[in-house]
Amino acid sequence: MSFFDKLKKGLEKTKNAIIKPFSNLFKMIRGVDEELLEELEEILVCADVGASTTDEILTRLRSKIKENKIKDSEEVKLALKEIMLEMIGEGGSITFGNGITVILVIGVNGVGKTTSIGKIASALKRQNKKVVVAAADTFRAAAIDQLSVWTDRAGVDLVKHTEGSDPAAVVFDAINAAKKRNADVLIIDTAGRLHNKKNLMNELAKIDRVITRELPDSNRETLLVLDSTTGQNAINQAKEFKNAADITGIVLTKLDGTAKGGIVFSIKNELNIPVKFIGVGEKIDDMEKFDAEDFVNALFE
């Protein structure tokens, strides 16, 4: 099964929450009028597109209806699809250069951070990248063991210390290992906590200093992992993390388990952070680079 087919299957719940009610709407309401737009607003909000993002979508849709004198339901659907694609923007890619690319992965416990690292490592390996993973989440019980399982599945190297070790020391050793092994990518797991922002910022700053000192010319990414099943709460998490770290992209997990996939639009509209990876299953190959056109097409097909 291709990833697009997995995406279509994985987005079935979100599609049922947005597109099917929208199609049914036209069976009940023939004209393109304000009543229809109000019904559409309720559908989008229920799919966790978010109030402000829904307002933006409807404002653009009203303009298109007026400008193009749209009266046909299929034309409204095409206009909606076009607006969604415009709003979601391109996901953006991981930047690779001549040296080692460092990917720092952050997020609260329970969002799928560790499994996402394994899946991203596997996806990069399929692109013929040599990957080293640093187990710098040394505070959570069994975090290192869990990451070890996923790196074994991905077939990539893991650098780890014992539980309770200094995360920056793990990163230092991982950088040395990545250099010796001529790695293309170093992925760094971090402690999944947000209850004490000051501690989080201090820890990330310490790790950052080690990376800057040991890999001054490296390409850098900071990816925030969000659980799509939490809907708008994921947006709130992202806002908090954005205050603590320079986030370059979002990893959105568990899209197959929710009707709240509409948060993809909120993430871009409210945070202006690109979604770079999406997960639509539990298998190691169920995560891929985010493609906005594929995402919207999967919703409408």
Do 161 and 191 reside in the same domain of the chain?
yes
Do 256 and 109 reside in the same domain of the chain?
yes
- Contact in structure between 166 and 222 (CB atoms under 8 Å): no
Mean pLDDT over 215-224 rounds to: 93
Query: What pLDDT is attached to residue 284?
Result: 87
Do 19 and 163 reside in the same domain of the chain?
no
Query: What pLDDT is attached to residue 242?
Result: 85
* Helix pair 232-244, 197-214: axis angle to 10 deg: 60
Query: What pLDDT is attached to residue 104?
Result: 96
CA angle 126, 12, 90 (to 5 degrees): 55
Query: What pLDDT is attached to residue 31?
Result: 64
Mean pLDDT over 275-288 rounds to: 83
Distance from C-alpha of 145 to C-alpha of 19, rounded to nearest angstrom: 41
Mean pLDDT over 11-15 rounds to: 64
Do 124 and 232 reside in the same domain of the chain?
yes
Give, for 249, the enclosing helix (H) or strand (E): strand 249-253
Query: What pLDDT is attached to residue 26?
Result: 59
Do 262 and 119 reside in the same domain of the chain?
yes
Query: What pLDDT is attached to residue 76?
Result: 82
Helix/strand/coil for 189? strand
Domain residues for the domain of 71 are 3-88
Do 105 and 35 reside in the same domain of the chain?
no
Full DSSP string of 125-151: HHTT--EEEEE---SSTTHHHHHHHHH
* Helix pair 73-88, 51-67: axis angle to 10 deg: 130
Query: What pLDDT is attached to residue 204?
Result: 86
pLDDT in tens, 156-208: 999 999 988 999 999 999 999 999 999 999 999 998 765 556 777 788 889 99
Helix/strand/coil for 220? strand
Looking up residue 63, the CATH number of its domain turns out to be: 1.20.120.140
Q: Is the pLDDT of residue 60 over 80?
A: yes
Residue 169: CB partners within 8 Å, gap ≥ 6? 161
How many independent structural domains does the chain possess?
2
pLDDT in tens, 64-98: 988 988 887 778 888 888 898 888 877 677 878 78
Query: What pLDDT is attached to residue 94?
Result: 82
CA angle 260, 27, 75 (to 5 degrees): 75
Full DSSP string of 61-124: HHHHHHHTT---HHHHHHHHHHHHHHHH---------SSPEEEEEE--TTSSHHHHHHHHHHHH
- Domain boundary (88, 113, 139) is at 88
Does residue 297 belong to any structural domain of this protein? no
Do 32 and 149 reside in the same domain of the chain?
no
Q: Is the pLDDT of residue 241 over 80?
A: yes
Do 83 and 155 reside in the same domain of the chain?
no
